[in-house]
Amino acid sequence: MEDRDAKRMATRLSDVVLDCVMPYIHDSKDRDAVSQVCRRLYELDSLTRKHVTIALCYTTTPDRLRRRFPHLESLNLKGKPRAAMFNLIPEDWGGFVTPWVREISQYFDCLKSLHFRRMIVRDSDLQVLARSRGHILQALKLDKCSGFSTDGLYYIGRYCRNLRVLFLEESSLVENDGDWLHELALNNTVLETLNFYLTDIANVRIQDLELIARNCPNLNSVKITDCEVLDLVNFFRYASALEEFCGGSYNEESEKYSAISLPAKLSRLGLTYITKNEMPMVFPYAALLKKLDLLYAMLDTEDHCTLIQRCPNLEVLESRNVIGDRGLEVLARCCRRLKRLRIERGDDDQGMEDEEGVVSQRGLIALSHGCPELEYLAVYVSDITNASLEHIGTHLKNLL
């Protein structure tokens, strides 16, 4: 009898311990492993799991996800394989969000964050999502998605008043008007991230951007399309908390841009279509920059060197191979805190790649000696040797 009572007590105690411990296990792999130990842990994982990533939307069903994890707060759902980015998969291959949105709208009462990647989204999906979950939705990412228009975004701007993140980067959408941004500006006071970079959105009223900046004191990241930078003077003044900006265009006389004042907290900057004539506007802020995106900048090798040497605190750099070996040598000499570097191949017809605009083992060796904290390296190299790889392996101990 005493042994039986002791076993019951131990069982109750273990259940209490498990109930207390499980919420502190956040890594999905750890949770997967723990949930296979026993039935009780499987049930606890089901009840307490807050985030799920589904790498391919056809590996499960919306109904099965709901039964397995009914209290999800965050869902990351991926559709087409990465090959779709290179036009290797037909547009109508699949990856529709409609069945998922239907399930979310009916059952997932706790869902606050939704990330669709390379999926087909209809305006009707956005309307259903906004009307059913707009009161609780805090983050919506339509990442490289297609099939929708600004009509669907209108409902997001109107009903999702607690939205903190709206991400549309590289999505293929149809622009009918700019009313969606106006609705967002009128109804939202908590927005932190607004991103419609590399989309076809062109009908942007500067007054709406200014209103968002005034109404949303925590706005810290804005990535837009080709708005004239001179028209953003008031926006920059209102967005005092802004830490990241990407986009814009430069269509006026170069001297006018020297009067532009960027936000004091700006530390991540993407310069689209900027030339060496407008580059001096960045110099007063260069020492504060931790991330610099030059993928779409109209700068040659010398311009890269001039700008990079003014950025001693740079941690992330994205550029094209026009940076050249000389640019990497300047980077190695001046940016010892660099952690991530991505260099893509430039378009041959841009006319920006001079005789110095190639990356070879010379630049990589300099980089391996000068940037010991480098964790990520993706470079289009025209010439590489085993010796340069040995230098990378020897000196860059933090590469993941």
Is the model's pLDDT at 8 over the cut of 60?
Answer: no
Segment 312-362, tens digit of pLDDT: 999 999 999 999 999 999 999 999 999 999 999 876 544 444 556 789 999
Stronger pLDDT, 36 or 224, i.e. the higher one: 224
CA distance 10 to 8: 5
- Scored b (16 or more CB within 10 A) or e, 6-27 reads eeeeeeeeeeeebeeebeebee
What pLDDT score was predicted for residue 363? 95
Instruction: State mean pLDDT over 96-103.
Output: 98
CA distance 250 to 5: 79
Q: pLDDT category, 133, cuts 50, 70, 90? A: very high
The matching CATH number, chosen from 3.20.20.140, 1.10.3720.10, 3.30.70.2860, 3.80.10.10, for 50-266 is 3.80.10.10
**Fold of the domain built from segment(s) 275-399:** 3.80.10
Is the model's pLDDT at 6 over the cut of 50?
Answer: no
Stronger pLDDT, 118 or 5, i.e. the higher one: 118
Least confident of 33-37, 212-216, 334-338, 394-398: 33-37
Stronger pLDDT, 183 or 44, i.e. the higher one: 183
- Is the four-CA dihedral 37, 41, 43, 48 of positive or negative sign? negative
CA distance 39 to 25: 17
Proportion of the chain above pLDDT 70, given as a percent: 93
**196 touches 157 (CB < 8 A):** no
Least confident of 18-27, 75-84, 118-127, 279-288: 18-27
- Is the four-CA dihedral 192, 154, 203, 205 of positive or negative sign? negative
Task: For the chain, give the mean pLDDT.
Answer: 92
pTM: 0.92
What pLDDT score was predicted for residue 28? 83
Q: How is the chain split into domains, by residue range?
A: 50-266, 275-399
What pLDDT score was predicted for residue 17? 65
Q: pLDDT category, 5, cuts 50, 70, 90? A: low
Stronger pLDDT, 9 or 290, i.e. the higher one: 290
The token pair at 6 is: 């002791």
Instruction: State mean pLDDT over 91-96.
Output: 90
Q: Which residues contact 6 (CB under 8 A, 6 or more apart)?
A: none
The number of beta carbons lying within 10 Å of the beta carbon of residue 350 is 10
Segment 154-166, tens digit of pLDDT: 999 999 999 999 9
What pLDDT score was predicted for residue 399? 92
Check if 50-266 and 275-399 are the same fold.
yes
Segment 209-257, tens digit of pLDDT: 999 999 999 999 999 999 999 999 999 999 999 999 999 999 999 899 9
What pLDDT score was predicted for residue 259? 84
